[in-house]
Structure 1
Amino acid sequence: MVYLAKTPRWLKKIYSSCIWDFYSNQDKVIYLTFDDGPHPVATNFVLNELNKYNAKATFFCIGKNVMAHEDIYKKLISDGHSVGNHTQNHLDGWKTDSVKYLQNVDEAKKHIQSTLFRPPYGRIRRTQLRQLTSAPNDFTIIMWSVLSGDFDQSISKETCLANVIDNAKSGSIIVFHDSEKAFGHLQYVLPKVLEYFSKKGYAFKNIAIV
């Protein structure tokens, strides 16, 4: 499995219309994001850990999972976190016809009330991107600057933690996954990330573009 823990500048330039970070913000703020939920075990674990530090985050939800766990979705919002659209069925934009892809995003919109969008796998065609960011969709596309790799079962939980600790800084958007696949790493890494950066005076905020 090939991926980069730290997003390179050249990739940000190629997709310059997307938000990759908030580095221009001089405050000591980190933006935690969680993809693929809600999940009855993983998401509730995340909420409990965030609550310990009065931390806010942004959850990019899959529509079918919202339908299955609507109570958890509502709790995300009532707890003051942001939500975003992650398609209805976790589609890969590179491998999916654009008409089908956009229809799938529209289906997710019925269940996810947000104009934040993150493409699954970070894969999206330029035509899809243009259509999602223009009327009537007007999505703000949120990517990331740090990828934890919590989904990668071939790496150790210590490596996953190092991916975050070594690369995150003020303004970073960090990706975790509140999913069954990632939960083994997540339950080790997330508490340590929250503790580490809290001790250094960082706050954790949600992405509040709606």
Structure 2
Amino acid sequence: MDLIPVKIPKLIKGIYPNYIWDMPFLDKKTIYLTFDDGPNPEITPWVLKTLKTYNAKATFFCIGDNVRKYPDIFKSVLADGHAVGNHTFNHLKGWKTNTEDYIHNVEKAAQLIPSKLFRPPYGKIKRKQAKLLIAQGYQIIMWSIITFDWDTNLAEENCFKNAIKHTENGHIIVFHDSLKAAKNMQYALPKVLAHFSEKGYDFKALSF
């Protein structure tokens, strides 16, 4: 498994300045929750219900094939006022996929996902792939904080700590609405919402 820091270092952000790593500070303290790999009929409805409890909005980076299989859940995400983004059709790793096939896979997902927000699966995308997508009007959305909720060896409490330890105004946090991440995410998400709500933060969807 590749070593990924919980908080993305400034050095990495500087190497890839055309990617979005966090959002500009607002007068109101704001956090941007994101969820990758859905929609999932067993997990996504729970996420939507939990977000609604805190009047929180989020951004869901969806796999095109999951949107194809579960269109009603995808519609529920949109109906609840959340933003959506493209996460390729088949969750491709850009570093191991030739550029033509990668772009075609993104375009296939775009037929189902009406968004110019794009997050590369695994955070791995070749510079040429990113350049072509940006030329097509996509915003490459990365993250400030990653929770590691998918790591089945990670204790639930540590997933929660990952989500709050370094988080600041304008940060983008990654969770996953997937079966693999369910145990950690379902433990951490309500606590994250409660923790930052008590500190006066809003939770907003990404918007450009």
TM-score, with normalisation over the residues of structure 1?
Answer: 0.97
For residue 21 of structure 1, give the secondary structure of its aligned residue in structure 2.
coil
Percent of residue pairs bearing the same amino acid type:
52
Q: Residues 183-202 of structure 1 correspond to what in structure 2 (within 5 A)?
A: 183-202=182-201
Taking the aligned partners of 2:206 and 2:122, their CA distance within structure 1 comes to: 19
Superposition RMSD on alpha carbons, in Å? 0.8
Q: Residue 107 of structure 1 aligns with which residue?
A: 108
Residue in 1 that maps onto 2:74: 73
Structure 1 unaligned residues grouped into runs of 5+: none
Name the aligned partner's letter for residue 111 of structure 2.
K
- The answer on whether the counterparts of 1:21 and 1:172 sit within 8 Å (CA) in structure 2 is yes
Give the CA deviation at 1:26.
4.1
Shift of 1:15: 1.0
Could you tell me how far apart the structure 1 residues matched to 2:27 and 2:42 are? 35
Q: How many residues align?
A: 207
Q: Structure 2: where are the runs of 5+ without partners? A: none
Q: Distance in 2 between matches of 1:59 and 1:27?
A: 22
Match of 2:28 in 1: 27
SS of 2:35 mapped into structure 1: strand
2:153 counterpart of 1:154: yes
| Partner residue, 1:207 | 206
**Partners of 1:26 and 1:170 within 8 A in 2:** no
The Cα offsets for residues 143-172 of structure 1, whole Å up to 9 and x where unpaired, read as: 100001101111111111111110111101
Counterpart amino acid of 1:189?
A
- Match in the other structure for 1:37: 38
- Which whole-Å CA distance do the structure 2 matches of 1:53 and 1:89 have between them? 32
Task: Give, in angstroms, the shift of residue 14 of structure 1.
Answer: 1.1
Q: Look up the match of 2:56.
A: 55
Distance 2:12 2:89 in 1: 26
Distance in 1 between residues matched to 2:118 and 2:52, nearest whole Å: 24
SS of residue paired to 2:193: helix
